[in-house]
Every structure is written in C-alpha cells, then in structure tokens.
Amino acid sequence: MKRNLSKIFLAVAVCMFLLSGIALSAEADGKVTLGKRSSGEVILQDDSPRANRTLVNVGQVAMWIYADGGSAITPGGDSGLFYPRGSTPNTAVIFQDGMVWGGLVNDGETPALRVGGQTYSIGTVPGAILSKGVPEDKDDLAVRRVWRIRRDYPIANLQQDAAEFFQINASAVTTGNMDQLRALYKSDWVDWPAEKGAPFYDVDGDGIYTPGFYTDATGVEWPKLRPADGEEFNAAIHADEPGVAGADQVVWLVANDLSDNEVSSMYGSPSIGLEMQLTIWAYARSDAVGNIIFKQFRVIYKGTETTPVNATIDSMYMCQWSDPDLGGAGDDFAGCDTTLSLGFAYNSSSNDAVFSKAGLAPPASGYDFFAGPLVEDPEGTAIFGLKERPGFRNLPMTSFAFFAAGQGDSDPTRGGNYDGTRQWWNLLRGFRPRPEEPAEPWTNPFTTERVMFRVPGEDLNGSASAANWIDENPGDRRILLVSGPFTMAYADTQEVVVAVIGALGSDRISSVSALKFYDKSAQFAFDNLFDLPKPPPAPSVTGTALDGRILLNWGDKPDAVSATEKHENKGYTFEGYNIYQLPNAGANQSQGVRIATYDVIDEATVISQDAFDESSGLVLNLPVQFGTNSGIFHSEVFTKDVIRDKPLLNGQVYYFGVSAYNFNGAEVTKTLESPMSVVTVVPQTAKPGDRLHAAVGDTVSGVDHAAGPSDGFVVVKVIDPTKVTGDDYTVTFRIDTVSADLTDPEHPVYETEDVWDLTNTTTGAKVLEKQTNQSGDEAYLIVDGLMVKVFGAPSDFARMANGDPAIIEVANENGPLAEADFDANGAPFGGNNVWHSLNSSSSADRYFVSTASADESALGFNAALAVPFDFEIRFTTLEEGSYGWWAFTDGSVGKIPLTIWNVGSGTPDDASDDVQYIPIMFEGGGTPGSYTPDHGPDGAFGYPAFDRIYFYAPAPGNTYADHHADIEADGSLDADYSAASREFGRVLVCDFDQNGAPPIPGTVVRMYTTKPNTPKDLFTFSTAGLNPTTSTAAKEADMDLINVFPNPYYGLHEFETNRFQRSVTFSHLPAQCTIRIFSLAGVLVRTIEKDDDKQFSAWDLLNEQGLPIASGLYLANVEVPNFGSRILKIAIVMEQQYLDYY
C-alpha cells in the first residue's frame, strides 16, 4: 500500500513540476499546452457519424479545425497547419491561428472595450445563438460538431486523408479507416446545417436543403449534385448540393462568445453576443490555388440577454492572428506586402532543421485579407457572400504587426487579465501592445516615423534600411493582419474572407516569391468570385502487386473514366494522363518523378504557360505538360524503381500517382492538372496457395466471330491476371438513341450511334455497356482484368490476302463462276481477282481492271460514301447497256455496253436493295461519246484501256431512269441527275487480248467494301482456365517458401525510411499464423499474431517490453493453423546508438 501511495505521490509531484515548467515557458515563448485539443472527439460508431474536429486537406495544405473555432493546431497541441501536405516527416508552417475581434461595445454594460475570438485560448464555444443571450447547448453532440464535405467521397482515394484524420502513418491506413471516413463524409452531406447558415446550392429554389443519392451501374452510391453549367436538370442525378465557390472540399462550423468563462479567460473581457459562422474551403488542384485554404468569417451581432436593440460596437476591428512556425519555431522572420494585403513569415536561414529532414528548402506561409469588413461607399462595389454589393467597399488590411516570444514586444497577457484586452486594443489600432496607456505607435527604426505596417521591405536579400525595412532579428514570430475600423449595430452581419497560403521555392527567398505568385492567383480567383475553370476529375486508380512488377489500372471504373475524359469546362477539354512515382503517399507532383504521359493525339503536345520557376524565383513561361501524341492508355506495368534507379523489389513499399490534365489553347493558362490519385503497392509473388494462370499482356485465344457479316474482329488482352474470372463472354452490337427531338411529334428526329456491349454469359451480367470505341487503340475500358478491344472494319475496299482491293469477277458469259474458275485471292470472295490480274480463263475474252495510276490511288475511293456498300459493273450488249455521260469534256452522251450498280451491303443476291448508278465517263486520248479502248494505256502495265468509269449515285429524288429518259427524249442530256460526289472513279477495263472488244455480255465485276459491325454480329470468347486458383496442396507446398529478410540484418536495410524504424520482414505468410521469436537460450523474445490478408509481417526488432533487442542469433517459429510450422534462423547485428543531445 505504501508503495502504491508513493507512486501516486511521485506522479503528482512530477505533474506539478511539469505544469510549473509550462507556466514558465508560457512567459518565454507563449506556446502552452493549454492549446492542446485533447477534448477533440470523433464518433464513428453509430448510424450518424460525426466529429467535432476535422481537417481541410484536399489540396497541398492540411489544417486542423475544431467546432469551437480553434484552428491550425493538432489535437495533441503541436503545429497543425501542414505544408506541403504529406511530407515525411510532417512539415508544418503554422503552430496555431485564429480570428480576433475587438471594439467599443455600447450595450449599457461595462467595460465597453471588449476583445474576443481565438488565439492560444479560445473565446468561442460550439453552437449558434438562438435568440438574445440564448445559445445552443454546447455540450449537445449535434451542436458540438464540425461538418466537412467533398463531392467525390464515394470513390476518392482517402488514404492520406485518413492518415491525417486518424493521425497515423499512411502505410498503416486500412480499408476500414477509409470506409469510416466515407461514412463521415456522407453523414455530413446528409446533415449539412443549411438551416443554421451553411452554404448550399439550392437547385430547386425552395430555400430548403434537400439532398439526394443514387446508385450507379457499378453499385456505388453517389450524392446527387447540382447540374453543371449548361446541363439540364435531371432528377435522377441532380439535387441540392452543399458547398460554396465550386470548392472541392468545404468545412463549416458555427460558434458563439456567450460563454463568459471562455471569453473572460482569454483576456478578461466579458461576452459581446457574437455568432461566428466559419466556412473554410479548398481546391484539389496542382496549380497555385491548390496551395491555398480560404476562410470566410461571418460575424453576426445577436447580443447577450441584456443587449438593447439600439446597441452598437464602435471602432471595431477584425484581426487574422497567427503563430507561424516554419518547421523550427525560433528562426523565423516576418514581412508584409501592402499592395497585396499580404502578411507572411519566412525562414531566416538557408536551412530549416525540420524541412531539411524532408529534403525540402525552407518554406514561406502567409495570409491575405481578400475581403475586409464592409463599409459604405457610394462609388464602390464590395464583395459580400461571394456576390458583388454596390454602394459599399471592403476594407483592406489596415495594419500589419509582428512580435516575438522573449523579445521586446510579446504576446498580450492571457489568463483572464483585463490588461490583455487593453494590449489587444492597442495592437488592433496599430500600436505596440505595451504600455497599455499611453499607447505607443510602431515606428520605422531607421526614421522613427509612425507606421501602420511593419517590415514592408521588398528586397529580402538586401540590407535593412529606411526604404527597405525588413526583419533582422529571427525568433518565434506572431503576425497580425488587421482590418478596421467599422461599426456594427445590433443584428448586423459582417464578413471577412482570408486566405492562408503555403509556398515552397528552391530557397527561403524564392519561397516568398512563390507565396506572392500564389497570392496573386488567389486574388484573381476571389475577384472573379471563384468562377474558374477546373481541371478534370482525378482518375480512379487501383494498383496490383505482381512478382517484381506493379500494375496500375485507371480504366476499370467506367463512370470515373467518363467523368475524367468527357470533362469540359470553360473551353478546357481533357488532354491526357500523367503517371508519377512518389517518395511517400502524401507527396505532391513536384516531389515525385513523372514516369509516363499518355495524351490525346492532337496538336497539343508540350504545353507551356506562365509558372513559378523555383530556381530563379521568377514567373516564367515554362513547359508544364509533356505530351507525345501517344494516345490514351488506361493501364501500365512498371518494373523499375525510377527514384532509386533499380528494379522493383518484392516486399518494398512503393507509391504511385496518376493525374489528368486538360487544355485550352485560347487561354493564357492553357492547362490545369488534377490532383493525383495515389496508390500504395508492394510487389510480391502470389499469396501462399494461390496460382496465376495468365500474365499481363497475354492474348485470350479462341475469340469466335459466331455470327454476322462484318469485317470487324475482337482481341482480348489480359491486363490484370489476378482478376480474370474464368467465365464466358459475348460481344454484341446495337444502335443506341443518343437524343430525340420531339418538337414535331409526328416527325421525331433521333440521333443515334452504334454501340457494343460486353456480357458475362456465365453470370448473365452486362459488364460493359454502350461502348463506342472500335478504333483498335489502347483507350478501351478494363473489366474483369481484361481489355476487350473491338475493332471496327476499316472504311476501305475489302482487301484480298495480297492487300489489293477486292475487285472480283463473279460471272462471265457462261454464268456465275464455278469454283474451278476462282483464283487464290478471289476465292474468299466467291470469284476471280481481276484487279491487275486476268479474268477467268473460261471466258473467251481476256481483260483486267486497273486505273490511271500504277497503284490504286487514282481510284479516289470515297469511304464516307462507298462503305459499307458493294458495287458491280454488269457488261451487256450495247443495246441493253446504259447511257454514259462524258461530263468532264464536251458533255457528250452515248450508249455503253455496261451498267453500274450499288448492290447493297453484303446482299449481292437480294435485288430489292440494288440502285443503278449514273456512269460518268472520261475518254482520255479517245473520242467522247464512244466506249472504245482508245483511252490510252493504264497506269500499271500500259495495256490499252476503255474509257474511265466514275460511279455517281443519282441525286436525292432522282433515279438512273430519269437520266436515261432525258437522253432518250432528244439525244442529249438537259439536266444533271447525279449526286455532287462520287463513291470512286477512274475505273479502267483493260483490253489484254487487244481485240478491241469489251468483256462479253454476262460478265459481272463486283467491288467489295468493308462491312462494319452491326446488330447481326456476335463474338464469343472464354477465359476458362485463365483465372487464379487456390488449393490446399499449393498452400502446403508454399510452407517451404516462408522466409525472413534481410537475413542477416546488418544495422539497417534499404526498406527502412529512417534510423528509428528498424525491422526485418517475414514473407510468404498465410492470412493467419503466429510467429514466436526466441533467443538461442530458448527465451521467448517476441510473439507476433498475424491475422490479415497480407503475406508480409514486420518485426520491429523490439522485445515484448518494447525495448531494442541485442545483436545475436534468433530462432523464429512460424506456426500455421492446420499446416504445421516452419523454423527460421535470423542473424541480427544492431548498430551502435548515439545520442543526438546530452
């Protein structure tokens, strides 16, 4: 008992000592553990998950935010605004920030001078003010809440989001973590507090927030969104949508200052009766706007219980307060740019201890007052509620100050001392915090003149002077951006919009240049009310681990592919994909290595635009996209680690990202790139007991054209062998109605397109629908691990085996050709090839077909008109022939011993669809009006040829008979009955035997064209035997593969990311097993219970007590239920440890 009491006494004593140390440090640096947010609460277990803390983290900046209005500090009390997001280790640029207000309150109570808001102490509590002096219950879970939404939550890769939200490593994030976060996003979407003032898009215009959901063809539930610009409302997919400014992520909360305890404990002021609605938003972009978080503070004067209706707050100010810590806290400078209303912090040295560990240069961070409080101005136009308001203007930043812990001017006194209020009042008005009275102004140290803006110098590399006053004494900075004064009356609403910006250049000074560039971009966005073009939605990517290889697949979700590739916005259209290898899961594009670009084949390849150049610190016109007209791909296999310049290693963790970008050549900013979808993949052999029976790139054999006349074909490639089903499939074709114009119900106009579907006939599921791609490129979708490439027939002549056009003699004077008359090239078409080849020897006359050129080019084949029809020349007697028209010379007409026909598409024996064409002739060197072999030699062999024949269809509404009758009437042609364009022409019938006679009557020459896929066509194939298998025998055999690496372990290995995370990894493990590690003396050192679907399990080289093990030999007994055990020997050599500090 005494022993236990002594422990308690010791613990209390230690706590008291630590607390006293905190109190002392509070005076020294102003950072106290009172800022810890240990009360932050996340409730995810019930049907309505909710949280009273969250992050805005969709772009390159991640910031904590709490239901009471506190922000930019972690739940543990550390720096809580991170930039660039996802660095390893985490790199923070802000310790804490908040909005401070103060003024002279004329409500009959004293003191009149009051200050509130959020600094290290939080003077607001969760909840709205329902009526004068009556707040919501701050302890109600439905009130003590912060809401966060993003429209892509159903399929977005939430790995980094979950890592930040749950405060764990990205590699430790589970599917369950991400599912919890999706549930929270949905709950916040459903419960979006529009009735309290949260912004939303009121699609139906009824003033009431009414969300909706729908399930897509793949079973994913989506929130209904507002219609896009120019899109018609569709109740199936459209509904009210939460959000503002077209943002990709929005956070909202409401708080108030009616808790006297919280307000007075800050700086001794009583409550004013203010409600603060805070809307925070960000954009998932890779350009300047992606480095910014926007904050809209809406403050409503609702009053305390005793506030009279004629109350006012005079000389009121709003201040964006921040404690920036750029990595290390004690080496920062401050600065401001009065032309931009920008206040910022930057590093004083060329190396920051924290950022250097992440391999980064010192950053810069800052704030911009985009819209200060509203004041009347008859000639002005303000922005309020992201709308223009004439007759007002927004106050700019009216003063900027900084001070530092432990230096001449430091934090206002906290802890309920009213002196803190008086000190803040001085700061808000542009004075030093102390003395409280009489207030002393800030002065330029070189001129002693009164200033409202401290350190506004621009040459940060230069020397400080009266004209270039810059910060010189580094320290732990606080910065204050103030706007005011203005007056608020009871029930008035005021609003300020502030942006917090992170920037990273090649050094500390170029980081400031980048910050100003980003700020200008953000100001442009704000001035245009965020009506900005957007990048395409990020692709949805999956990664498959293979043996020494990684497969990335962003083509297996049809809706996601369509959303990305059909995205059009303000003249920007989808252009391509970029693939990156990344150093960690949270890295951005600039930190990774671009390893591939797949782009649309067009004129936009390398795309240049104005961009910030880190090396020079200037804005230059630089290449930003590097297309090669490769065409679009939806998957790729990688075997090389480009970051380390070596092959991929099994068991190593790799990170890849895929983004999409667009293009608009008419704009200054020509391209916008989406954020990356990041996947974490560990290459590995198949899991124990599993066997793959196909490989990436294999072609599925046995595709059968089971029905139909088309010249199309289907090729099936294996993309992901782990997902092949072993099932049977069919490809079918149909005509789909794209749109219908029913303006005239009796004569509706339909727009249609040819589509194909892929059906798994084993399950009956239609796995792909309404596909239009028949080009044979690589842009097909991927399903069940397969890319089914449907090839349409080329728009061309049908081709014989030798590649020549299929111009075939199918009959002669003896009737239809018998098989004995077929030649090898003509046989597949049921006849004898006569293109540059003699007709059948069974005929008494010998001829062949040619044209004016040596090849077929002179035929002038017009595929748009000719395909898919077949054509015939039918030779007759002169009397039975048709009238030719020598239109190209003198307009002569005359009888020719042949007729020409369109005989339909693949229906030569069906005369019902035959159309007689009008033969237009050209005599060459001969005589117009007479079909004789005096044209001159053909282009291939030089044989005498009859007049050229051109195939012209009758014009709409006409027939050949009209042409014939016109000539018969008076021997001349009085009108042109032919269409404007011909299918082909310059057909020469060559007189091989030079007897001067055309082919004998009864001879028929048919010209075949290709036939597209139609609803008559059917293709079938099977993947039987290609699907992965699992067997007990294989699992038993794989017991021998269980291993551990590296072995021996020599102090470190390349999988370790730092010297504090030592490990060896067991591999080829089944889902469930127990690993017991013993010393050679038989002492149990560590037990690892494995129960997951991974085949790897790491031992951190700690014993059961969490202490590092000693160097030596160890035995590992891997026990597998139902399969026995395997013994492994492990040699461990631990490195010598040295203290960093002593």
Q: What is the pLDDT of residues 143-166, one digit of tens each?
A: 999 999 999 999 888 999 999 999
Verify that 329 and 463 share a domain, yes or no.
Answer: yes
Verify that 954 and 875 share a domain, yes or no.
Answer: yes
272: DSSP letter: -
Residues 6+ apart with CB under 8 A from 295: 278, 279, 280, 497, 498, 499, 500
d(CA 496, CA 748): 54
Is residue 144 within 8 A of residue 138, CB to CB? The reply is yes
Closest CA to 346 of 238, 458, 421, 257: 458
| Residues with pLDDT less than 50, the chain | 1-36, 38-40, 1139-1142
Residues 6+ apart with CB under 8 A from 99: 69, 117, 118, 276, 297, 318, 319, 320, 321, 496, 498
Report the amino acid identity of residue 1008: Y
Nearest 5°: the CA angle 780, 786, 789 is 40
Verify that 1072 and 939 share a domain, yes or no.
Answer: no
**The dihedral sign for the CA sequence 17, 23, 29, 30:** positive
Boundary residue ending a domain (966, 995, 1022): 1022
Residue 158 lies in a domain: no
Residue 566 lies in a domain: yes
- Give me the pLDDT at residue 750, please: 74
d(CA 511, CA 195): 42
First to last CA, the chain: 37
Residues 6+ apart with CB under 8 A from 640: 646, 647, 648
Verify that 272 and 377 share a domain, yes or no.
Answer: yes
Verify that 784 and 814 share a domain, yes or no.
Answer: no
Residue 118 lies in a domain: yes
- Tokens representing 449 are 């003149």
Residue 695 lies in a domain: no
Verify that 21 and 49 share a domain, yes or no.
Answer: no
d(CA 103, CA 272): 10
Per the structure, the complete domain to which residue 398 belongs is given by 42-148+256-527
- β-partners of residue 55 are 64
- Give me the pLDDT at residue 744, please: 72
d(CA 77, CA 72): 10
Closest CA to 66 of 88, 106, 96, 91: 96
Closest CA to 150 of 246, 229, 61: 246
Verify that 644 and 680 share a domain, yes or no.
Answer: yes
Residue 199 lies in a domain: no
Residues 6+ apart with CB under 8 A from 490: 301, 303, 307, 308, 309, 310, 311, 312
Residues 6+ apart with CB under 8 A from 871: 900, 901, 902, 903, 917, 951, 983, 1006, 1007, 1009
Number of domains in the chain: 6
Q: Is residue 520 within a helix (H) or strand (E), and if so which, with residue range?
A: helix 508-527
- Give me the pLDDT at residue 426, please: 98
Residue whose pair of structure tokens reads 């007729």 in the numeric block: 899
Residues 6+ apart with CB under 8 A from 909: none
CATH number for position 1074: 2.60.40.1930
Whether cis (ω within 30° of 0) applies to the bond prior to 1048 is yes
Is residue 500 within 8 A of residue 92, CB to CB? The reply is no
Residue 222 lies in a domain: no
- Give me the pLDDT at residue 20, please: 35
Residue 741's φ and ψ, nearest 5 degrees, are -100, 105
Verify that 345 and 401 share a domain, yes or no.
Answer: yes
Verify that 377 and 522 share a domain, yes or no.
Answer: yes
- Tokens representing 180 are 């919890």
Verify that 1059 and 919 share a domain, yes or no.
Answer: no
d(CA 945, CA 948): 8
Residue 463 lies in a domain: yes
Verify that 986 and 1046 share a domain, yes or no.
Answer: no
The alpha carbons of the chain give a radius of gyration, in whole angstroms, of 39
Size of the chain, expressed as the number of residues it contains: 1142
Verify that 49 and 104 share a domain, yes or no.
Answer: yes
Residue 830 lies in a domain: yes
Residues 6+ apart with CB under 8 A from 1054: 644, 649, 652
- Give me the pLDDT at residue 209, please: 98
In Å, what is the CA distance from 269 to each residue of 111, 274, 1033?
8, 13, 77
d(CA 90, CA 314): 43
